[in-house]
Amino acid sequence: MDTKALRQKILDLAIRGKLVPQDPNDEPAEVLLERIREQKQQMLKEGKLKKKDIKNDTIIFKGEDNLHYEKFQDGTVKCIEDEIPFEVPEGWCWARVRDIAMVKGGKRLPKGASFSEEITTHAYIRVTDMKNHSVNISNLRYISDEIFLAIKNYTIAKDDLYVTIAGTIGVVGEIPDKLDGMNLTENAVKITNIAINKSFLCIILQTDFVQQQFQDKTHQVAMPKLALERILSTLIPICPYVQQLQIVDRFQVCDNFLSTIDTEKEELQKIVSLGKSKILDLAIRGKLVPQDLNDEPASVLIERIRAEKEELIKQGKIKRNKKESVIFKGDDNSYYLRTESKAIEITNELPYKIPDSWEWAKIGDILQVNPRNKIEDLLEVSFIPMPLIDGGFSGKHTSEERVWRKVKSGFTHFMEGDIGIAKITPCFENRKSVIFKNLKNGYGAGTTELHILRPYESTILPEYVLAYVKSSMFISKGKQEFTGAVGQQRIGKEYLENSYFPIPPLEEQVRIVEQISTVYKQLNMISEALV
């Protein structure tokens, strides 16, 4: 169920007078608007309003020719039929936001000021806090008494609405009672002195009809911005006050129902994601598919890898790894790591038990780490920046095309069948890892924030390697090995090279990959059904 589309459909019904029944006995909206104009005049006399606050107020009415007109303060009248998107029921009418409310801006912190490290009595509401048409209080920032005094005229009240006006345009919501009188970011405005039902106005402002007006009125600069005056001139339908209350009640029931569905969908998506993660963990532990005694053991596979490496070294295509090691099982049933100089027991370092036909090895000993390509400068290749790599469990990517000469320096090299692993946070945790496929002429280059693993021929399936690097164990261990400053932390090449890698027989790798694919197809069908 597309709850977003359904919610908009309900909003559309609301502003067309089709969400609640019409009652001819209800006081017409025209009478309500006339009373609002009279109240404004009284407030002007009492000094509560200034002439500039109402100088642009207008009256929208239907002429004898059944067309819509707008009357301005100077007495001029203009036909606005081309602005009217649809007919509203009898008793409804059209107005501008300025006719029923005022719009005032927020305020940025004074130059040189910063948020308080402690919770104070003055919250500063940012755009990032504006969620679900309310305010998320879980990560609020606060300011000191001194800063509050400097910007005290830019607060928002519980009777106001907010509208975001910079970057993300048109997010609308109400202010919780506990945030009454708190400061408002300069990237949002408050709609205040609302003369109709506040919650009804909030509903109106969420509709595609109004949101499109906001977008059309947005000033397109480096950071899109919606001016206050353009909000004030936004056209909205007004219904009788009794109906406003009815619409709010009916919409709230519908919205609560849709929110429940959204929550359940989110929970199901989490379960699907958890299921995918569990499948990978079972796969790399030898618990996803049964072992077959007829399979050629992984020890033979490792010997083939070593033989191929030696041949490549002789040909000068790769260099000998001076830190090369071998993991073996001793007569005491313990695991040992042997290097050129010594052998040490590592049983307690290994993360879990594996089947007897499997072997442990360090990644750097059985896969090429960050190899370089040697190809012709004019060859067209694929170019893949980080945004073109999917996160999660898909393992997919798209690509652009470049001439090798332009990308061979300053970028990561890879070729068809290589596995790319994002090394920087949060891409690493978000599982931005991929098997490179369908590369232009079989080669590519891309973001420097990748580590590359290249299997030797017919030894370790790339799909199995991908399952390993997407596993929760690999991700969790990698986060512990992060280096660098906060926000720019990375896994190093050393973490990859020294990671203990469980190797199944090649035939079992095939069965594992096939089973992962089968289960993932079923889980993906569930995910797609939830969209």
Question: Contact 171/128 with Cβ under 8 angstroms?
Answer: no
The average confidence (pLDDT) of the chain is 93
Task: Provide the token pair at 483.
Answer: 């280096």
Q: Give the span between the Cα atoms of 392 and 367, in whole angstroms.
A: 23
Q: Which residue has the tokens 């280096």?
A: 483
For residue 420, pLDDT over 70 is answered with yes
> In the prediction, which pLDDT does 183 show?
96
> In the prediction, which pLDDT does 221 show?
55
Tell me whether the omega of the peptide bond preceding residue 237 falls within 30 degrees of 0, making it cis. no
> In the prediction, which pLDDT does 33 show?
96
Higher pLDDT, 56 or 219: 56
**For residue 316, what pLDDT band results from cuts at 50, 70 and 90?**
confident
For residue 253, pLDDT over 90 is answered with yes
**For residue 121, what pLDDT band results from cuts at 50, 70 and 90?**
very high
| Residue 53 backbone phi and psi in degrees, to 5 | -70, -25
Q: Which residue has the tokens 């041949």?
A: 311
> In the prediction, which pLDDT does 326 show?
92
Mapping DSSP onto H, E and C, the string for 75-142 reads: CCEEECHHHCCCCCCCCCEEEEHHHHCEEEECCCCCCCCCCECCCCCCEEECHHHEECCEECCCCCEE
Average pLDDT over residues 411-424: 96
Q: Is the dihedral of CA 460, 463, 466, 467 positive or negative?
A: negative
Q: Give the span between the Cα atoms of 242 and 255, in whole angstroms.
A: 20
Terminal CA-to-CA distance of the chain, rounded, Å?
6
CB atoms inside a 10 Å sphere around CB 525: 11
**For residue 223, what pLDDT band results from cuts at 50, 70 and 90?**
low
Average pLDDT over residues 459-469: 95
Residue 458 in 3-state DSSP?
coil
CB atoms inside a 10 Å sphere around CB 141: 20
Q: Give the span between the Cα atoms of 154 and 156, in whole angstroms.
A: 7
Task: Provide the token pair at 521.
Answer: 């197809």
Residue 63 in 3-state DSSP?
coil
In the sheet that 123-125 helps form, which strands lie side by side, from edge to edge?
141-142, 123-125, 182-184, 155-156
**For residue 457, what pLDDT band results from cuts at 50, 70 and 90?**
confident
For residue 324, pLDDT over 90 is answered with no
Q: Give the span between the Cα atoms of 502 and 499, in whole angstroms.
A: 10
Q: Give the span between the Cα atoms of 385 and 226, in whole angstroms.
A: 32
> In the prediction, which pLDDT does 220 show?
60
> In the prediction, which pLDDT does 217 show?
76
> In the prediction, which pLDDT does 317 show?
84
> In the prediction, which pLDDT does 263 show?
87
The dihedral region occupied by 425, where left means phi > 0, alpha psi between -120 and 50, and beta the remainder, is beta
> In the prediction, which pLDDT does 439 show?
97
For residue 93, pLDDT over 90 is answered with yes
Query: pLDDT exceeding 90 applies to what percent of the chain?
Result: 82
> In the prediction, which pLDDT does 152 show?
93
- Domains of the chain, first to last: 1-100+201-217+228-252 (no CATH), 102-192 (3.90.220.20), 298-364 (no CATH), 366-504 (3.90.220.20)
Q: Which residue has the tokens 């998107």?
A: 85
> In the prediction, which pLDDT does 339 show?
86
> In the prediction, which pLDDT does 167 show?
82
Strands 93-96 and 235-238: antiparallel
Mapping DSSP onto H, E and C, the string for 161-226 reads: EEEECECCCCCEEECCHHHCCEEECCCEEEEECCCCCHHHHHHHHHCHHHHHHHHHCCECCCCCEC
**For residue 219, what pLDDT band results from cuts at 50, 70 and 90?**
low
